[in-house]
Amino acid sequence: MVMSASRLRPVFTAADAGEHLPTPVRLARGEEGPHLVCFGPYMAPSGVHQYARFAAAFGGRRSIWALPEPGFGPHEALPGDVAALLEVHAGAIAASVGDEPVVLVGYSSGGWVAHAVACHLERLGRPVEGVVMLDSFTRREGMGDRFQSAVAQEQSERFDFVSSPGTQLTAMGGYLRIFDGWDAPTAAAPTLVVRAGEWMADATATADDRPAAPDHADTVTEVPGNHYTLMERHAESTAAAVDEWVVKLGTAS
């Protein structure tokens, strides 16, 4: 239903992406590199606020930016395809951090946006230092019924904290359409997947009820919390896991 409704929304193409650049939001300012540029999920509700606790946990040591997904705000057009989305994010990254070293971070489905943007920047000759996927799942299989039911319940409870829920839902439908059948390219950048240590669903759920992690990751680590709370009350331990990996990237280089 939301995929069909999204067809009523205005769209933009890669050719006119420069007119639809999302406004980068600087969540933290610090001297330690590289910059972290964060992408929200394309499942509603979505917004830069989802990184507020994560950014605060770095204690002002790193510069952290968040890029909203275009189309989730009132009166915004949706990307007509993945190529259009990549163009706007590449432009927004250039506007915020220029050519300085950067690690791309994406929460949930936003992890795949971060991966896609990293591949796009590599093709443009502007490689990133790494990609972090925060509890993102493989695209090779769907969610189990119990996990999907638990996610739907958790999502619905979080709509109290966003404006324009109808806009968010049709935006989600548009992103589901453009990513449907999308063949994820291979990234040269090292990739970290941060997995939530707690299962979603009822007390009888097991690890088999949770979707698998993306299989291309170089490193997979597990942190406290479930798919939602790892970015909420457990954001500090999530940030610590990311920070440790980013430090190792700098040591390796």
For residue 34, give every residue at least 6 positions away whose Cβ sits within 8 Å of its Cβ, in sequence order, or none.
100, 101, 102, 103, 129, 246, 249, 250
Tens digit of pLDDT for each residue in 73-110?
A: 989 999 999 999 999 999 999 999 999 999 999 999 99
What are residue 218's phi and psi, to 5 degrees? Answer: -80, -35
Mean pLDDT value across residues 209-228: 89
Asked whether the beta carbons of 61 and 129 are under 8 A apart, the reply is no
Q: In 3-state terms, what secondary structure has residue 62?
A: strand
Is residue 79 reached through a cis peptide bond, with omega within 30 degrees of 0 on the bond before it? no
Mean pLDDT value across residues 27-38: 94
Tens digit of pLDDT for each residue in 137-171?
A: 998 776 656 666 666 666 666 656 556 678 999 99
Asked whether the beta carbons of 88 and 117 are under 8 A apart, the reply is no
Which of 1-5, 8-12, 76-80, 128-132 bottoms out in mean pLDDT, i.e. has the lowest? 1-5
Average model confidence (pLDDT) for the chain?
89
Mean pLDDT value across residues 179-204: 87
Q: What is the pLDDT of residue 181?
A: 87
Residue 211 has pLDDT above 70, yes or no: yes
Mean pLDDT value across residues 223-248: 95
Asked whether the beta carbons of 6 and 170 are under 8 A apart, the reply is yes
Asked whether the beta carbons of 76 and 11 are under 8 A apart, the reply is no
**DSSP 8-state secondary structure symbol assigned to residue 21:** P
Cα distance between residue 230 and residue 134, in whole Å:
9
Question: In the CATH scheme, what architecture does the domain 2-247 have?
Answer: 3-Layer(aba) Sandwich (3.40)
Q: What is the pLDDT of residue 153?
A: 67
**DSSP 8-state secondary structure symbol assigned to residue 142:** -
Residue 234 has pLDDT above 90, yes or no: yes
Tens digit of pLDDT for each residue in 193-204?
A: 999 998 776 555
Burial of 38 per CB tally in 10 Å (0-12, 13-18, 19+): buried
Question: What are the DSSP calls for 158-218, one per residue?
Answer: GGGG-S-HHHHHHHHHHHHHHHTT--PPPPSS-EEEEEESSPSS-TT--GGGSPPPPTT-S
Mean pLDDT value across residues 36-48: 91
Which of 27-31, 57-61, 148-152, 181-185 bottoms out in mean pLDDT, i.e. has the lowest? 148-152
Amino acid at 104: L
Q: Which pLDDT band holds residue 208 (cuts at 50, 70, 90)?
A: low
For residue 157, give every residue at least 6 positions away whose Cβ sits within 8 Å of its Cβ, in sequence order, or none.
none
Taking each helix axis as running N to C, give the angle between helix 82-97 and helix 110-123, from 0 to 180 degrees, rounded to the nearest 10: 80
Q: Which pLDDT band holds residue 123 (cuts at 50, 70, 90)?
A: very high
